[in-house]
Structure 1
Amino acid sequence: MAATAPTADSAAAANADYPLTPEGARAFVAAVEKDLFDLSIISGRAQWVNSTYINDDTDALAAYFGTIGTEKGVKYASEAARYARVQGLDFDTARKLNILRGALVLSAPNTPGAAAELNTIATRLQSTYGKGRASLNGKVLTGDDVEALMGTNRNPAELAEMWKTWHENVGRPMRNDYTRMVEIANSGAQELGYADTGAMWRSNYDMTPDEFAATYDRLWSEVKPLYDDLHCYTRTKLNQKYGNGVQPATGPIRADLLGNMWAQEWGNIYDVVAPKGAGDLGYDVTDLLVAKKKSPTDMVKIGEGFYTSLGLAPLPASFWERSQITRPRDREVVCHASAWDLDNKDDLRIKMCTKVNGDDFVTIHHELGHNYYQRAYNQQPYLYLNGANDGFHEAIGDFVALSITPEYLVQIGLLDRSKVPSADKDIGLLLRQGMDKVAFLPFGLMVDKWRWGVFNGSITPANYNQAWVDLKKQYQGITPPVARSEQDFDPGAKFHIPGNTPYARYFLARLLQFQFYKAACDMAGWKGPLHRCSFYGNKEVGARLNAMMQMGASKPWPDALEAFTGNREISGKPMLEYFAPLQAWLKQQNQGKQCGW
C-alpha cells in the first residue's frame, strides 16, 4: 500500500459514468482498480500506524481513511451490481464485478454520515480491544501477558479471575457500539442486494450463501466425531486433576481450564492430558528455543528459512526494518499477530509482540505464509490481490507449520537427532497437535454462526451474550467459569469480533491445511506416517505451491485447490487420516465413559 494519495484524475475517472455495455463495464472496472489501488497505499499506512501506535490521533487517521474506503466501496459495489447485469461480459470483468459487490466486510448505506459513523465505531471497537486489560491478584495484565498466563497457570481460582476480568473489561464496554454497528452494516448490505451482512460474507466463496452454509455444516459433520472423542478424553483428565467441584466428570468443560482465554486451542494443557509413558515427547519447542538463546528476530529468520528452503525468495530488507516483531515499551499497540503488504508489491511486514515460546514459533511460520502469498500474487490486477478464498490465505502458513516436526527441528539445528521421539511417542505427538488443531474446529465454526445469527436477526441484542454462551456449549461443549448476564458481551473479548474479521476462513483453513499438507507430502515422496512428514527443502513442493499462490483470486477457488492438490472440493478426510492413530487410541481411553455433554 506507496505513500501517495489517490490522484484527482483517477478518482474522476472512476466516477465517470461508463455505458452499460461490456466495453463500458471493462472501463469501469479498470478505473475502479486504479482508484482503489492508490487509496489502499495511504489507507494501509494509516492502519499500520494506528495498529502500532494507538492514540487519539492515529484512531482519527485510521477512521478517516477507513471512511473514504467504505464510501468508495459502497459506491463501487452498488455500481458493480448495475454492470453485473450487462449481457456478454467476459470472465474477468464478471468476476471482478462480483468481487467488488461483495468486497466490503462492513458496508454502510448511502445515507449521509453513515460511512463515517460506521468507521468511527469500528475503529473504537478495535482500539477498545487493543487497550484491554485483565487482572490477577490485583495486578493489571496486558492482553498478550494474560494470554501467556492462561496457558501456564493451573490454579482454578486465578484462572477464573483472569477469564472474568478480561471478558468484563474488554467485552462489556463494546456492547452498545456493536449493536449500532450491526444496524448500519445490515442497511448497507441490503442496499447492495444481500439479505444481510452475513449473507454478503457467505457470497464470497464462488457459491450462493445458502450453499456455503450447507458446505460449512457438511465439513463439520465429517470431523465432529474426532472432536467428540478428544473432548471426552480431555474432560476426564481435567476431572482427575481438579476434582468434581471444579470440573465434573460429565457435561461441558469449564472454559478457563483449557489453557486459552477463549478455549479455542487446548495445547497449553498438554501436561494435564499427556498419556502415561508416551506423553513425554522428549523435547519442548519453547525449551529448545531458550536453550539455543534464540531471540524473537531469530525465530522469524528461522520461519523465513522454511520458505526459502522450498526455493522461494528471501523476504526484502525492508521487512526487517519495518516489521513490529516485539512489543514496543513506550506505547499502546495491537499485539494480535498479523501480516501486512503495504504497497501491493513487496513492502511486506509482520506485526507481533513475539515471545520466545513454541506458540509464537508456530505463529511466525503462519504469518509469513500470508506474506509469501501476498508477494506471489503481486503481479495480479488489484481486485485479484487476494487468496483463492480467505481460507486459503490462512491455510498456507498453517500447513507449513504442520511441518514443524521433530525431523524439521533436527534439520534446522534446534533438536539433536538423538532426542527425536521414537514411534512409541507418536500418540503423544498427535495428542499435542490435536489439542490445538482438532480442539479449534467447533470454535472456528461457531464464531461466525453467532455473527450470521446476529446479522440475520435470529440473535437479537437482548440475547447477544446468552446466544454466544449457548453456541459455545452446543458446538464446543464449553461453559463459562462464572455466571454471565446480558450486561456482558463475551464475544467482544475475542479480537475478531471487534476487529470485524470474518471467521469462517479459520475453520476452512483448519481443514485445507491438512489437504495441502498431504498433497505436499505425497509430492515429496513421503512414505512414513503422515504426521511425521516434513517437506522442508523440497523444491517441487515450493514450485507447485508458488504456482497456486500466483493465481491469487483470479480463478474460482476449486481451480486453485486443484492446481496444488489435484482435488476440487474441500474435505475433512486428510485431517482424519493424519489423526487416525490418535482417534483409535482415544476411543480405547474413553471406553466406559459417558461421552458428550
Structure 2
Amino acid sequence: MIRLYLNMLPKIFIIGCFCILAIIAKDVSIEEEEYNARNFLILLNRQTEKDSNRLSLANWAYASNLTEENLKNQLAVAAEVAKNEKEAWQRVIQYNWKTFSDPSLKRQFQKYSVLGISALPEEKFKNLNKIVSDMEAIYSKAKICPFGAKTAETEECKLGLEPELTNILATSRNPEELKHVWLEWRNAVGPKCRLLYEQYVNLTNEAARLNNFTDVSEYWLDDYEDPNFKSQIQSLWEQLKPLYLQIHAYVRTKLRGKYGEIVSEKGPIPMHLLGNMWAQSWSNVADFMLPYPDAKDENLTEELKKQNYTATKIFRTAEEFFKSINLSEMPETFWNNSVLEKPSDREIVCHASAWDFFDQKDFRIKQCTEVTGEHFITAHHEMGHIEYFLQYKDQPVKFREGANDGFHEAIGDLIALSVESTKHLRKIGLVHSEKDDPKQVLNNLFKLGLSKITFLPFGYLMDLWRWDVFSGKTKPEDYNCKWWELREKYQGVEPPVDRSEEDFDPAGKYHIIADVPYLRYFISFVIQFQFHRSLCEKAGQYEHNNLEKPLHECDIYQNQAAGNVLKQMLAMGSSKPWPEAMEVVTGQRKMDASGILEYFKPLQTWLEEENRKSNAFIGWEPSKKVCVRTRQELLDAQKDNTTTIPAQA
C-alpha cells in the first residue's frame, strides 16, 4: 500500500500542479476582467452623466413650458439617450460581472444591466415617451367651469387643478360645488387618457419583459432587493389599519353631523367632502372637527401672510433648517434656475418636483408655490430631495439615488415633522404663544393625523391597482371598477356619483399617468417616523415612555449631532442595499411601524374614547354607489331603482 501510494505521488503532484495553474490562470483572468471593467466603467459613468444631464434639461424645458416645440425636443433627446444606453448595455452584459470580487463594481454593473424602457425598439420607445408626455399635457392643461356656470363656452371656464380647484376643495363647504369640481376634473382628464393608458401598459410591459421581468410590477419591485417585499408592506398596513379605522370612524361621524344624510352612518365616506381631490389627505376639513374647537388655533397660513412671506422666503426658511443641522446650503444654480411660483405667461406641470441635473452643481425645484401652511411644508419636503442630491453627488452615477425610493420621499417629510411642531414654529417666530396648550397640542396632532394616517391606505392601493393592471389580472374593461373596489376596500371612501368603465378615474391622479411608482410614498410615511424617533433620541429630545419628552413634540432644528447621522446616510445614496442605510440612522435593518404608532398614540387613545362615546361604527358596510361597464347600464340601473351593482372583478 505504501509503495503504491509513493508511485502515485508524481501523478498526484502533476495533476495538482495543473489544477493550481488552472486556478491561478482563472484568477488572473478574473482580475484582468475586473481591471478592464473598472476602466470601462469610468468612461460609462461619464457618458451616463452627460446623457442624464441632457435628458434632464430637455425634460425640464418641457415641464416648465408645455409647448409642442419643447415636447419635440424632449422626445428627440430621449431617443438619442436611449440609443446610447442600449449600446452601453450591450457592452455591459459582455462582462462576467456576477463573478467580480469588488462589491461596488459588481453593484454598479448590476444596475447598468437593467436597461429599462430603453430596451424597446426605437419606434416603440419614442411612442411610449410620446404617450406619457401626452397624458401629462392633458392633465396639466385641463380646465373646468366654475360651479353654476351657464355655458361651457364662458370665459370663466379656466379653472385649473393648481391652485383653483385645490383651493375650492379645501375651503368650500357646499357639497354640490364640491361634487361639481370632483366630477368635472375627472371628466376633463380621464376619458382622454384611457386609450393612451392601455397603450402605455402594453409598451411598458414589453419593456419589462425585454429586461427579463414578467411585467412592470416585478420590474418596479426589483429595486427593493427583496423577493418578499410585498408581504412586508402588507404586514405594515395590517399593523397600521386599526389606527386608520379609528380616525375614519370619527371623521365620518363629524361629516354626517355637518352634511346630514349624504354621509351614511356605516358606509364609506363620500370622498368629495374630504377637502382633497383624491381624498389622500383630509387635513383641510379639520376646522369643524377638532378635538378642542375652542382652543386657540395659531393659523400658519395667516401668520405667513401677516409676516409678508413670499415663495422665495419660504424656501430660504427651509434652507436655513437644513443648514442648522449641518447639511448643505442651496447652490447658486438653485436660486437662479428653480421655478418657485406659477408663471402667468405659459402652461407648466405644477406638480411640485425636485430635479437633479447630474452635473454635480445644478439642482432645482419646480413648484407653483402659494403662501400657505401646506406649501410651507411642501417646500421643506422638496428641499429634502435636493439635500439628498447634494450629499450623494460624488457617488458613481448609478448610486445617485435614494437607498430605495421611499427613502428619498422620507427625508423632507422627516424634517417637516420637526417644522410642524409648535416648538419649532415658536423658535422661528411663526407661533407667538409662550408655551404649548395641551389641548392645542392634541388639535395639532389630529390635524397631522388627517394628513399622515389618512394617506396610508391610498399610498398602498395606488400600486396594488397597477400591479394587477400590469400583470393582466385586471383587464382594461375593468380598470375603473377595480379602482373603486380598492378605494372602498382599503380607504372606505366612495365617489359622489355612480361610475362606469367609460370613465377612467385613476387618470385624475398625476402619478398614474406620469409613470411614477407610488409605493415609495407609503414606505416614506412609515420610515420617516422611524428616522424621526432615532434622530430625536440622538438629539436628546425624546425618551421612550417619558411624558416630558414625547415623540410628537421633538424638533431637531439646530442639532448637528442628529444632522451628522442623517448626513452619513444620505451620502451613501444607493451604494449599499437599503437595510444598511436604514441601520446607519436607526440601528434597525427592517421597516418598522412602531415609530408612527408611538407618535400618534395620544391621538389614538383619544379617538378610541370619542368613538365609544358617540357609538361610532368602526369600519364600513358596502357602498351603495354603482360601477358598471357602460353608461347605458348605469342608466338602466338607475331607471330600475337598483341600489347597487357589484364592481367588476
> 189, 196, 209: which one pairs with 1:177?
196
- What residue is the counterpart of 1:247 in the other structure? 263
> 102, 106, 112: which one pairs with 1:94?
106
> 479, 485, 491: which one pairs with 1:464?
479
> 533, 537, 541: which one pairs with 2:554?
533
Offset, 1:74:
5.2
1:525 match: secondary structure:
coil
Distance 1:79 1:262 in 2: 45
Distance verdict in 2 for CA 1:281–1:439, change over 3 Å: farther
> 214, 232, 237: which one pairs with 2:254?
237
Offset, 1:410:
1.1
Q: Please tell me whether the aligned partners of residues 326 and 560 of structure 2 are also in contact (alpha carbons under 8 angstroms).
A: yes
- What residue is the counterpart of 1:391 in the other structure? 406
Residue 258 in structure 1 maps to residue 279 in structure 2 = no
- What residue is the counterpart of 2:161 in the other structure? 143
Q: Please tell me whether the aligned partners of residues 274 and 280 of structure 1 are also in contact (alpha carbons under 8 angstroms).
A: no
- The aligned runs of 1:361-380 (5 Å cut-off) are 361-380=376-395
Q: Please tell me whether the aligned partners of residues 121 and 181 of structure 1 are also in contact (alpha carbons under 8 angstroms).
A: yes
> 14, 37, 49: which one pairs with 1:37?
49
Q: Please tell me whether the aligned partners of residues 445 and 600 of structure 2 are also in contact (alpha carbons under 8 angstroms).
A: yes
1:135 match: secondary structure:
coil
Amino acid at match of 1:572: A
Offset, 1:317:
2.0
**Larger Rg belongs to:** 2
> 570, 590, 600: which one pairs with 1:569?
590
Offset, 1:489:
1.1
- What residue is the counterpart of 2:366 in the other structure? 351
Residue 548 in structure 1 maps to residue 558 in structure 2 = no
Distance 1:219 1:389 in 2: 17
Offset, 1:79:
5.8
> 224, 234, 240: which one pairs with 1:223?
240
- What residue is the counterpart of 1:476 in the other structure? 491
Distance 1:122 1:361 in 2: 30
Q: Please tell me whether the aligned partners of residues 151 and 269 of structure 1 are also in contact (alpha carbons under 8 angstroms).
A: yes
Offset, 1:69:
3.5
- What residue is the counterpart of 2:430 in the other structure? 414
Q: Please tell me whether the aligned partners of residues 120 and 206 of structure 2 are also in contact (alpha carbons under 8 angstroms).
A: no
Distance 1:220 1:401 in 2: 23
Q: Deviations over 1:451-478 (max 9, x none)?
A: 1111100111111111111111111111
> 48, 53, 56: which one pairs with 2:65?
53
Task: Indicate the larger mover: 53-62 or 431-440.
Answer: 53-62
Offset, 1:70:
3.8
2:355 match: secondary structure:
strand
- What residue is the counterpart of 1:128 in the other structure? 138
Q: Deviations over 1:515-550 (max 9, x none)?
A: 111111111111421111111110111111111111
- What residue is the counterpart of 2:74 in the other structure? 62
Q: Deviations over 1:397-456 (max 9, x none)?
A: 0010011211111111112133x4412333211111000000000000011111111110
Offset, 1:136:
2.0
Q: Please tell me whether the aligned partners of residues 465 and 491 of structure 1 are also in contact (alpha carbons under 8 angstroms).
A: yes
Where structure 1 has 5 or more consecutive residues not aligned to the other structure, the ranges are 1-17
Count of aligned pairs between the two proteins:
573
Distance 2:460 2:180 in 1: 27
Distance 1:68 1:280 in 2: 60
Distance 1:426 1:74 in 2: 55
Q: Deviations over 1:15-48 (max 9, x none)?
A: xxx9995445445544432221110111111111
Offset, 1:318:
2.1
Distance verdict in 2 for CA 1:249–1:287, change over 3 Å: same
- What residue is the counterpart of 2:353 in the other structure? 338
Distance verdict in 2 for CA 1:485–1:314, change over 3 Å: same
Residue 206 in structure 1 maps to residue 225 in structure 2 = yes
- What residue is the counterpart of 1:4 in the other structure? none
- What residue is the counterpart of 2:10 in the other structure? none
Task: Indicate the larger mover: 454-463 or 70-79.
Answer: 70-79
Amino acid at match of 1:392: F
Distance 2:36 2:86 in 1: 20
Q: Please tell me whether the aligned partners of residues 423 and 553 of structure 2 are also in contact (alpha carbons under 8 angstroms).
A: yes
Distance 1:455 1:392 in 2: 25
- What residue is the counterpart of 1:189 in the other structure? 208
Offset, 1:82:
5.9
Task: Indicate the larger mover: 306-315 or 47-56.
Answer: 306-315
- What residue is the counterpart of 2:186 in the other structure? 167
Task: Indicate the larger mover: 255-264 or 73-82.
Answer: 73-82
Offset, 1:369:
0.3
Task: Indicate the larger mover: 433-442 or 482-491.
Answer: 482-491
Offset, 1:348:
1.6
Q: Please tell me whether the aligned partners of residues 121 and 177 of structure 1 are also in contact (alpha carbons under 8 angstroms).
A: yes
- The aligned runs of 1:96-111 (5 Å cut-off) are 96-102=108-114, 104=116, 107=117, 109-111=119-121
Distance 1:74 1:478 in 2: 44
Amino acid at match of 2:423: E
Q: Deviations over 1:308-336 (max 9, x none)?
A: 11122321222112110100000000110
Distance verdict in 2 for CA 1:224–1:72, change over 3 Å: farther
Distance 2:107 2:343 in 1: 42
Amino acid at match of 2:474: I
Q: Please tell me whether the aligned partners of residues 79 and 122 of structure 2 are also in contact (alpha carbons under 8 angstroms).
A: no
Distance 1:134 1:225 in 2: 38
Distance verdict in 2 for CA 1:495–1:73, change over 3 Å: farther
Q: Please tell me whether the aligned partners of residues 67 and 115 of structure 1 are also in contact (alpha carbons under 8 angstroms).
A: yes
- What residue is the counterpart of 1:324 in the other structure? 339
Offset, 1:290:
1.1
Residue 114 in structure 1 maps to residue 124 in structure 2 = yes
Q: Deviations over 1:553-597 (max 9, x none)?
A: 111111111111111111111000000011011111111222111
Q: Aligned residues: percent identity?
A: 36
Amino acid at match of 2:585: F
- The aligned runs of 1:1-16 (5 Å cut-off) are none
Residue 435 in structure 1 maps to residue 459 in structure 2 = no
Amino acid at match of 2:279: A
Amino acid at match of 1:275: P
Q: Please tell me whether the aligned partners of residues 258 and 266 of structure 1 are also in contact (alpha carbons under 8 angstroms).
A: yes
Distance verdict in 2 for CA 1:83–1:207, change over 3 Å: farther
Residue 593 in structure 1 maps to residue 613 in structure 2 = no
Amino acid at match of 1:189: A
- The aligned runs of 1:63-78 (5 Å cut-off) are 63-73=75-85, 76=88
TM-score (norm 1): 0.92
1:350 match: secondary structure:
strand
Distance 2:166 2:38 in 1: 49
Task: Indicate the larger mover: 142-151 or 569-578.
Answer: 142-151
Distance 1:468 1:38 in 2: 40
TM-score (norm 2): 0.85
Offset, 1:341:
2.0
Distance 1:84 1:228 in 2: 52
Instruction: Give the CA RMSD over aligned residues.
Output: 1.9
